[in-house]
Amino acid sequence: MLERIPGDLIIDEVVVGPVGPRDVLVRTAAAGLCHSDLHFMEGKYPHPVPTVLGHESAGIVEEVGSQVSYVQPGDHVISCVSGFCGGCRQCLSGHPNLCDNAGFGVDTAGPPRLRRGDQPVFQFAGLSSFAEQLLVHENYLVKIRPDMPLDKAALIGCGVTTGVGAVLNTAKVRAGDVIAVIGCGGIGLNAIQGADIAGAGRIIAIDRIASKLDLALTFGATDVVDASAGDPVGAVLELTGGGVDHAFEAIGLAATAQQAFNMLGKGGTATVIGMIPLGERVEIDGFQLLMEKRLQGSNMGSNRFRIDMPQYIEWYLAGKLKLDELVSAVMPLEEINDGFAALKGGEVARQLVTFD
């Protein structure tokens, strides 16, 4: 639980509320540590406290509400922050990840989903995955095949969907395209393997840490650029003889978003995946727009998660999508602050908290 911002997490007992008509109670098997959680712990994005963080998880359904028909007790599920109401303009036009009705699953007149004693505890992203149980609206879950390992399935809940989806759904990379990915953490590695799956002709991985560049090569990168050794934009322009078709920013900084745009060739697209802190502005040279260059964002890989995630599982089980190689460490909940310290240090890809 996060009690103050900025701050570390504490372990405490939280009472889960009653299961509402459209709610599902899930026993959490595993949850991933994501930079997004760290942003809220550091105060880069606001959130009321106390709150239970976590949003990348998988588990087994324990109980369902009276109006739930999609899942039943015993089903294996992945959670996703892209809860969809199914009736707004964004949902009906094929963009459920941009659902207009934020908080649609919360009954404000009923008892809180989470509480500590008499004090309500805020649910993070409609999920709060760093807990033994999740109580969520059914439209935050996707049912998956039971032979999929739940610890690896948890990775799909955010990191895989965000990185692979940015390439396949948001940018729509085509076979033969030349790609650059800035940042080779969990999101960036998934963008790299998404480009590989799409058949990109050349994939350039950019980072400041040698071990992460080595890992990028195992995920499909064809070239690497050490950003600590000089100007990465100049290096990419030299490697490609004029720039890339697509550049992906997977760190969440204005400076690297600008670098992504500046390494484009004519007609290229820069896609910002990382969460740039509130208030930071990205500046580009307006003349470059005449070269039909584009700068765009990606929200959770522009996903339709009930379609995308089962496909990612099929790719994993067929050996086409790497998940095991993403895991830098597995830990109990009691070690979660150590995990976030390692994440902040930049040396890890993805870490998992597992529950007995």
Q: Could you confirm whether 80 is annotated as catalytic?
A: no
- Whether the CB-CB separation of 155 and 323 falls below 8 Å is answered with yes
Tell me the mean pLDDT in the region 160-168.
Answer: 98
pLDDT at 188: 97
Where residue 215 falls among pLDDT bands split at 50, 70, 90? very high
Segment 74-99 shows an average pLDDT of 96
Question: Mean of the pLDDT values across residues 188-213?
Answer: 97
Catalytic residue among 39, 95, 137, 246: 39
For the residues 200-218, what does the mean pLDDT come to? 96
- Name the band, by pLDDT with cuts 50, 70 and 90, for residue 195: very high
- Which of 55, 95, 137, 246 does the annotation list as catalytic? 55
% of the chain surpassing 70 pLDDT = 100
The residue-averaged pLDDT of 310-318 equals 98
Give the mean model confidence (pLDDT) for residues 279-289.
Answer: 95
Q: Strands, DSSP E only, in 37-189?
A: 51-52, 57-64, 76-79, 114-116, 119-123, 133-137, 141-144, 178-182
C-beta of residue 248 within 8 angstroms of C-beta of residue 181? yes
Q: Can 34 be counted among the known catalytic residues?
A: yes
pTM score: 0.95
Q: What is the mean pLDDT of residues 255-281?
A: 96
Would you call 95 a catalytic residue per the annotation? no
329-356 residue pLDDT tens: 999 999 999 999 999 888 888 999 999 7
How many whole angstroms separate alpha carbon 295 and alpha carbon 302? 15
Residue 334: count of CB within 10 angstroms of its CB = 9
Q: What pLDDT sits at residue 108?
A: 73
Among residues 35, 36, 80, 128, the one annotated as catalytic is 36
From the list 158, 184, 298, 302, the catalytic residue is 158
Phi then psi for 211, rounded to 5 degrees? -65, -35
Report domain extents, the chain: 15-158+302-354, 172-297
Q: 106: pLDDT confidence band, cut at 50, 70 and 90?
A: confident
pLDDT tens column, 27-39: 999 999 999 999 9
Q: Which residues contact 79 (CB under 8 A, 6 or more apart)?
A: 26, 55, 56, 57, 58, 59, 127, 129, 134, 136, 140, 141, 157
pLDDT at 178 over 90: yes
User: Would you state the pLDDT for residue 22?
Assistant: 95
- pLDDT surpassing 80 at residue 103: no
pLDDT > 80? residue 102: no
CATH fold for the domain made of 15-158+302-354: Quinone Oxidoreductase; Chain A, domain 1 (3.90.180)
Catalytic residue among 34, 91, 99, 184: 34
Encode pLDDT of 39-54 as tens digits: 999 999 999 999 999 9
What's the topology of domain 172-297? Rossmann fold (3.40.50)
Q: What pLDDT, on the 0 to 100 scale, is given for residue 346?
A: 84
Burial of 157 (0-12, 13-18, 19+ CB in 10 A): buried
* pLDDT value at residue 110: 79
85 an active-site residue? no
Q: 87 versus 108: which is more confidently predicted?
A: 87
Annotated active-site residue 55? The verdict is: yes
